[in-house]
Amino acid sequence: MLSYPEESGLSLIVAVERVEARLQPLREKRKTVRRIYLDNNATTPLAPEVFEAMKPFFSEDFGNASSIHWYGQQAKAAVEKAREQVARLIGARASEVVFTSGGTEADNAALVGIIEAARSDAKHVITTAIEHHAVLHMAKALEKRGVSVTYLRAGSSGVVDPDDIARAIRPETVLISVMHANNELGTLQPLEEIGRLARERDVYFHTDAVQSVGKIPVDVEKLGADLLSLSAHKLHGPKGVGALYVRKGTILRPLLYGGHHERDRRPGTENVPGIVGLGKAAELALARLDEEAERLRALRDRLEQGIFARVPQVAINGDPERRLPTTTNLSFDHIEGEGFVIAMDLRGIACSTGAACSSGSLEPSHVLAAIGRSAQQARSSIRFSLGRFNTSEDIDATLEVLPAVVEQLRSVSPHYRKAAVSDQPSALSK
């Protein structure tokens, strides 16, 4: 037992030192654990090539991209190169790419920008109940400003029905915002159909493609998107930088007010190292897009099949076919997700119960609730998300420790009656 300093009469410093001394061996032990990162939908490790590309812009190439002297021109050239690299990844023109501070700002800017520029009688937005909070919470804020918002439910497989969108369109609808890949499930939405519909009905179409860009082919023309959000840190780039694609001719008010940066679309001195990092990350992703997707799909499938073969009562959340190749979200009956994540972490494996920004929340995932999962099912759901640096050894090591972790957690669950369920196989989907 560690004693409370006031009780023991020790000074706070001595007490802290004692705590530190007791924790040190534990810290040392944790350092020696081989670590495996399977939470790439939360964020990805920076690619070494990206880091190298960014470095000069923290030191000798420090200029402000708006300055007219040599330093400024160096920075400006680097920003414009990155704009080309990002545009190429999503099939856009460079002039249609606006750099932002990340996916959240891009989402906010798309929603606010369209609403503020719309006619005063055209204030209806259609979105879905499974969007990231960067869209959902902005939509809620818009409602407080008098905007009408329709939140469509996704089916039990996590896929939105374009017919529901068609039915929800009204004369005053100005924007449809539907994400490309869901961050918790990986489920892919039928964007081409939604894009076609939006065009036919003359409504702007925004997609939050933060989870799909750099992982699967994304082409703004094919998708029919007028606006598309992306974020560098999901594709092995740096945090705090992203972009909003804005189709030429889209009438959009800026979210922020200030200088004339980004063709008056987004004021503020450009984050040159970040933007360069995003550009390099986009170039690297595009160079190996198809082969990486196939490699990671094979690893993800091996992980899933390995779990099904070893652990009873597991089910996939979301559509097993229509999803990112990198993601699986599984419900393990009779386990508490948070306990599972901690137990796996103690064994060196990082996974998650869902969105990183909802960690610690007592509420079950809004995404799983929207696809009809009970609160209990949602609390037993685990997301594994793979990225460029994962290997087949990572999958083998995970499969080695996971069954014992599940067994251990179930053994302390009052609801788990092993004898009654042990011969029930795992299902592909509920």
Determine the residue type at 10. L
Residues in contact with 317: Cβ distance below 8 Å, sequence separation at least 6, in sequence order: 158, 184, 185, 329, 330, 331, 368, 371, 373, 381, 429, 430
Residue (134 or 307) nearer to ligand PLP, CB: 134
Assess 334 for contact with ligand PLP (CB under 6 A): no
Other beta carbons within 10 angstroms of residue 102's beta carbon come to: 24
Residue (334 or 384) nearer to ligand PLP, CB: 384
Residue from 189, 155, 194, 427 nearest 323 by CA? 189
Residue (92 or 134) nearer to ligand PLP, CB: 134
Residue (208 or 283) nearer to ligand PLP, CB: 208
Say if CB 22 and CB 2 are below 8 A apart. yes
Is 351 among the catalytic positions? Answer: no
**Longest Cα separation, the chain:** 76
Assess 210 for contact with ligand PLP (CB under 6 A): yes
Q: What are phi and psi of 314, to 5 degrees?
A: -125, 140
Residue (102 or 337) nearer to ligand PLP, CB: 102
Assess 96 for contact with ligand PLP (CB under 6 A): no
Q: Which of 102, 254, 279, 337 binds ligand PLP (CB under 6 A)?
A: 102
Residues in contact with 178: Cβ distance below 8 Å, sequence separation at least 6, in sequence order: 127, 128, 131, 160, 165, 189, 191, 194, 205, 207
Q: Which of 104, 177, 187, 377 binds ligand PLP (CB under 6 A)?
A: 104
Q: In this chain, which stretch among 28-36, 78-86, 103-111, 147-155 interacts with ligand PLP, using CB under 6 A?
A: 103-111
Q: Which of 44, 231, 328, 329 binds ligand PLP (CB under 6 A)?
A: 231
Residue (220 or 335) nearer to ligand PLP, CB: 220
Q: What is 182-206 written as a DSSP string? A: -TTT-BBP-HHHHHHHHHHTT-EEE
Q: In this chain, which stretch among 108-116, 162-170, 206-214, 258-266 interacts with ligand PLP, using CB under 6 A?
A: 206-214
Assess 242 for contact with ligand PLP (CB under 6 A): yes
CA angle centred on 229, ends 225 and 230, rounded to 5°? 125
Say if CB 11 and CB 197 are below 8 A apart. no
Q: In this chain, which stretch among 20-28, 97-105, 156-164, 278-286 interacts with ligand PLP, using CB under 6 A?
A: 97-105
Assess 39 for contact with ligand PLP (CB under 6 A): no
Assess 366 for contact with ligand PLP (CB under 6 A): no
Q: Which of 90, 97, 109, 179 binds ligand PLP (CB under 6 A)?
A: 179
Q: Which of 134, 175, 191, 275 binds ligand PLP (CB under 6 A)?
A: 134
Q: In this chain, which stretch among 85-93, 98-106, 292-300, 391-399 interacts with ligand PLP, using CB under 6 A?
A: 98-106
Measure CA 103 to chain center. 9
Assess 211 for contact with ligand PLP (CB under 6 A): yes
What is the rounded distance in angstroms from the CA atom of residue 263 to the CA atom of residue 90? 20
What is the rounded distance in angstroms from the CA atom of residue 173 to the CA atom of residue 159? 22
CA angle centred on 239, ends 234 and 244, rounded to 5°? 70
Catalytic residues: 357
